[in-house]
Structure 1
Amino acid sequence: MCRVQTCGSSLFKLTQSKTTDINMADFGEILRNIGEFGLFQQLTLIALCFPNLFLSFMFASFIFIESDPERHCNTDWILRADPNLTTDEQLNLTLPREEDGTFSRCRMFVPVDRDIGSIREYGLNETSGCQSGWVYYNALYEATIVTDFDLVCDKANLVEVAQTVFLAGILIGSLTFGPFAESFGRKRATQIPLVIMFIFTVSTALCPNIYLYLVLQFFSGVGAGGYRVNCIILSTEWIGMSKRSWGVCVTQLFGALGQCVLAGVIYAIRDWRLAQLITAAPLGVVVIYIWFIPESARWLLNRGRTEEAKQLIVKAAAINKRSVPDSLLEKIAVKDTLNTGGIKIIFRSSLLTRYFFTVAFAWFSLNLALYCLYLNMGNFGLSIFVTQLLFGAIEIPANLFSMWLLEVFGRRVLFIATLLAGGLSCILILAVPQGYAVAVTSLAAASRFFLIWAGSVCSVFMQELTPTSVRQTATALGAISGRTGGLLAPLLNILAMYHWVIPITVFSSLTLVSGALGFLLPETRRKELPETADEAENNRNSTSTNTQSRPYPNATKL
């Protein structure tokens, strides 16, 4: 038995709590009133996705390179003794020969202060490395980082270093701007990385040496990594559940179109510095309009900034040619969902921890496979321009299918199917005899098709499995897991020097395992984004149908 005052107080608190719930409108209900994917969301999505069309170009400076171009040491010093020497005579007098009879590509005879007659009669014996650079010929490109910075012979490994540094920058960008977005907003977390990306892309095109190039590429990667993960979150949080996957898929689609355009641009230009400047030009336009992108109203409400959120909601409704009922605006209130503890919210729950690591591991595996294939496409046997175009073109149907089938079959089935199919396509490359370039390229393209598709599913899944207060951080950590896979890809490819099957076996096996782990995940199709850890654990059992059966989904009967 309880005392009358205590029972009365408890009853009062319960009634007050329920009354508070009545006075709050769920954000999903708000979107259904103002339009789940109207003109406002469409313009926001396209504006945020547009830079992804050119992010692919940032890989041009170290993807489109000849790692071992035809070359010889620059020996113009001998022309001081006889400026009328023919090219063949100059090479015969100044370059040693290899065992196969060809001129050395990394050695030269040490210059001497003798007349040409003495050189012809006695010859040169002492050799050294190239002292005045190299002369390149029969090159596929006019200028690459290899030819501009002489990344050959003892500096050849700096090509892999450049790839790794850029991917490390992407990883750091995801790590830095994920938590940044939770504290300072989705809008700022897209604006700042974009400005960084623009500044350092221009600077990279003008850098004079490889060491400054590595520094600039790192910061370009920081901007690219920070922007990519945050633009997806910002667009997704404005889109209703019926089209929520489009935030990820359209972003990926713009990237795929960029891959196709990149192949044509490099084929026509063949100069990495000019390619960098072409990348920077449209980014300069985006830097101007990015300041007018709206903040996420969902994030504003979560941070207690209700009035700012209301203004954006009214603005979105006006652009969508909808009206917001006054009764709905009055019910918009701050829900008590300001979870403390940051990302610890996920790790306090064994269920959410399992979801997080399952998706993160899949993200790691598929990116490891994608980058291993991408960075090695010059060795498939076909023209690198054809392979690049094919790799970009195959992403377009992958993303279109993802946009459609994610809403038809759901997330879980496609997560499992795409990863297993992608891993199987990769491992089948081992069964192809060496020299069958078309077969290898076809299997690589097929695996890329499924893995790009799987990447979209992972991004959607991570957002729908985590609460609003840590959604950006969780997605950023998932993206970091993927970037780590990309970072390790050049190192895994190096193991091919011991046996060519090692990289394929490793990334194929990891992809197949991550696909099998998909059975541990729940289905999240057409369920509202969870606001709290409890809702995330329960996986928002109220579906869109149940939600629409009540005027306001958070209203409860007293």
Structure 2
Amino acid sequence: MRFDDILIRIGEFGYFQRRLYLLLCMPAIVTACYMMILVFVMEPPEHRCKLPEWENDTYEIQSEEHRKWINYTIPPSNDEQHVYDQCHYYAWNKSESSPINRTVEACSEWVYDKSVFLETFTSRHNLVCGESIKTSVAEMVFYFGVLVGDISFGLLSDVIGRKKTFSITVIILLASSTATVFAPEFYSFCALEFINGAAVHGAFMVCCVLGLEMVGPSKRVWAGIPIHIFFAVGLVYLAGIEYFTRNWQYVQIAITAPVTLFLLYWWLITESPRWLVSQSRYDEANTIILKAAKANNVDMKGDKLVDLSTLETPKQGNIWELFKSKVLFFRTMILFYNWIVISMVYYGVTMHTGNLGGNFYLNFFILAVVEFPAKAMTMVLLNRIGRKKMHCTCMMIGGIACLCTIFTVVYGGDSLQPVTLTLAIIGKFGSAAAFGVIYIYSLELYPTVVRNGGMGMSSCVARVGGMVAPYVAKSGDLVGGRFGQALPLVIFGGCSVLAGILTLFLPETHGRKLPETIQDGEEFGRKPKGASTANLVISTDTINSISTGLNGKQLMKDEDFKPNKSD
């Protein structure tokens, strides 16, 4: 007997599991806020150089004299989207009659437009012009922290348990996130963001694992999708608090406050009985199992369900075996590339919100809401059209939509901004839907003996996409002009289309017996060598034995069976 057999007997997804799963989905709301908060915190507001010797200079024109000096002292930019050069000014003295033909100097101070953002970390510390690359560095450091957190807290949960690890991550997150509000300069801010990324996603991964370990085998695939719907709820919440506060410190406080509630989980959730069995802590595991059976209204006879020490533990293979086989290596590389691209597009399109034109907060909100129909479509169609077709369709539709923005941005400009936004929304829709598909598709493609390791590596590889996303999202700033505005979405679109095409080289898994061993994985989806319908020979004795078993009468004779070689 395996532990899954116990779950079938006590209820695969009864009241006990549903309650636990709902509690474990709540941290996904906070996780979404942390994963996307830097889109707001590191966004540079519209800005220009502060006029030297001009007291109380603001972005808004204060007087006709102020207007005159702005017009004369700020060189017009070649980029038609900006009126003034944001990084240089003419050296001048206010007592002079005209600053024309004076030397151009780099700005040391800036004034910012406060109509959209009252203050971001970028405007607080002047991370613009020559310092603008630091905004991408901060985002990259955060996602690197996510990668480290997935690995370190994943290993820790295997050593000390899911429940203790979750509590540790919550305490760390609460401390580091609170400290982030008071970060005095860039480098301490990056260090704290690294810890935030590691802690929040470490907690999220523990929730995913603990939730799935208590769900029966027939319900486990679908239990992986609803938690991502709670993730979308978090994005909507983030959009709301950003709109009403418009100050990065207040936003940080608003997403930190709910973390305190997760301290109560020490008394609300249970340890994973599956993990307790792996640690030979059978009495504790048995107590939780009996408690779950009682909550699920399963009548148990006696005080023990089964002798847990006799449970069969599947032997795990070496993850590196995926790279020794030519077939499995090829498939694994395709899966890894898809994980990277999906993560890059999913986060990158949202990071590009500020360059889409229109209302920043409305754009962010729409890109968050679009995830609800994306997840719903995944749940409805995944078993109807199959994993392969579903995933390829999502990647192709999202990719082509992103590629098409080059026409609306370069040739349409502001007049076609709603169309550009619509195409970006479709791109986000495709990546959000693909996130749900790739998880299940990978789960079913990896052989059982290396499935956990394969999924863990896939999750880590996906963080590479998150680390690359901010640099791609800011790549248009290096090019400038309308083409620069479209460039990030073009890159996202091209990578998505390629990922969709590569998916066609993978086998379909829906309705198929999943591979158990490495050899099963190599043969999965491949025709046996030498098999050909033209050379197919079926014994009439076999057919007659089947037909006789059905109705007790021989239906065919040897001379009646003449296979058509053309078939």
TM-score class normalised by the smaller sequence: 0.7 to 0.9
- 1:295 aligned to 2:271? yes
The answer to whether structure 1 residue 490 and structure 2 residue 490 are counterparts is no
Q: Which runs of 5+ in 1 are unaligned?
A: 1-24, 80-85, 113-118, 540-558
- Out of 434, 459, 476, the residue aligned to residue 412 of structure 2 is 434
Among candidates 154, 159, 172, match of residue 178 of structure 1: 154
* 2:405/2:490 contact within 8 Å kept: no
Question: Residues of 1 paired with 2:379 and 2:151: CA distance?
Answer: 27
Structure 1 CA distance for aligned equivalents of residues 201 and 153 of structure 2: 8
Deviation at 1:123, TM superposition (A): 9.0
SS at match of 1:245: helix
Q: TM-score, normalised by structure 2?
A: 0.77
- State the 1:129 CA deviation: 5.1
Q: Tell me what 2:251 maps to.
A: 275
List per-residue Cα deviations over 1:211-262 (Å, max 9, x = no partner): 2111111111112332333322221222123332333211110111121222
Equivalent positions of 1:328-407 (< 5 A) are 328-330=305-307, 333-339=310-316, 341=318, 343-344=319-320, 346-347=322-323, 353-407=329-383
Give the CA deviation at 1:270: 0.6
- Structure 2, unaligned stretches of length 5 or more? 57-61, 78-82, 525-567
Give a deviation string over 1:384-439, Cα, whole Å, max 9, x none. 11111111111011112323433555534423332233223333334434321111
What's 1:421 paired with?
Answer: 397
In the TM superposition, 1:89-488 aligns within 5 A as 97-100=73-76, 106=87, 120=95, 133-290=109-266, 292-324=268-300, 328-330=305-307, 333-339=310-316, 341=318, 343-344=319-320, 346-347=322-323, 353-432=329-408, 433-435=411-413, 436-466=416-446, 471-488=451-468
Bigger drift between 297-306 and 452-461 goes to: 297-306
SS of the residue corresponding to residue 242 of structure 1 reads coil
1:287-317 superposed Cα distances (whole Å, 9 cap, x missing partner): 3315643233333434544443323222221
User: In the comparison of the two structures, how many residue pairs are matched?
Assistant: 502
Cα drift, residue 448 of structure 1: 1.5
Determine if contact 2:212/2:223 at 8 Å carries over to the other structure: yes
Pair 1:387–1:356, CA change in 2 (3 A): same
Query: Post-superposition shift, 1:531?
Result: 8.2
CA separation of 1:187/1:522 partners in 2, compared to 1, >3 Å: closer, same or farther?
farther
**8 Å Cα contact 1:201-1:280 kept in structure 2:** yes
Distance 1:200 1:172, change over 3 A: same
Q: TM-score normalised to the size of structure 1?
A: 0.78
Deviation at 1:269, TM superposition (A): 0.9
**Greater shift after overlay, 484-493 or 386-395?**
484-493
Specify the alignment match of 1:514 in structure 2.
Answer: 499
2:7 aligned with 1:31: yes
Instruction: Verify the 8 A CA contact 2:42 2:135 in the aligned structure 1.
Output: no
How big is the shift at 1:283?
Answer: 0.8
CA distance in 1, matches of 2:358, 2:71: 33
Q: Which moved more, 1:432-441 or 1:405-414?
A: 405-414
Output the amino acid matched with 2:412: Q
**SS state of the match for residue 95, structure 2?**
helix
**Superimposed CA distance per residue, residues 348-389 of structure 1 (whole angstroms, 9 cap, x where no aligned partner):** 565654554332221111122222311112222221111111
Secondary structure of the residue aligned to 1:120 is coil
Compare relative contact order (CA 8 Å, sep 6+) and give the higher one, 1 or 2.
1
Could you tell me whether the CA contact under 8 Å between 1:62 and 1:145 is conserved in 2? Answer: no
Whole-angstrom distance in 2 between the partners of 1:173 and 1:288? 22
Residues 1:189 and 1:520: Cα distance change in structure 2 (over 3 Å): farther
Distance 2:136 2:457 in 1: 25
SS of equivalent residue, structure 1 residue 312: helix
- Per mean C-alpha deviation after superposition, the further-off stretch among 70-79 and 186-195 is 70-79
Paired residue type of 1:372: G
Sort the Cα spacing of 1:333 and 1:352 in 2 relative to 1 into closer, same or farther, 3 A.
farther
Report which stretch shifted further, 271-280 or 449-458.
449-458
Q: 1:78 to 1:513 in 2, by over 3 A?
A: closer
1:67 lines up with 2:47 in the alignment: no
Matches of 2:396 and 2:301 in 1, distance apart? 48
RMSD: 3.7
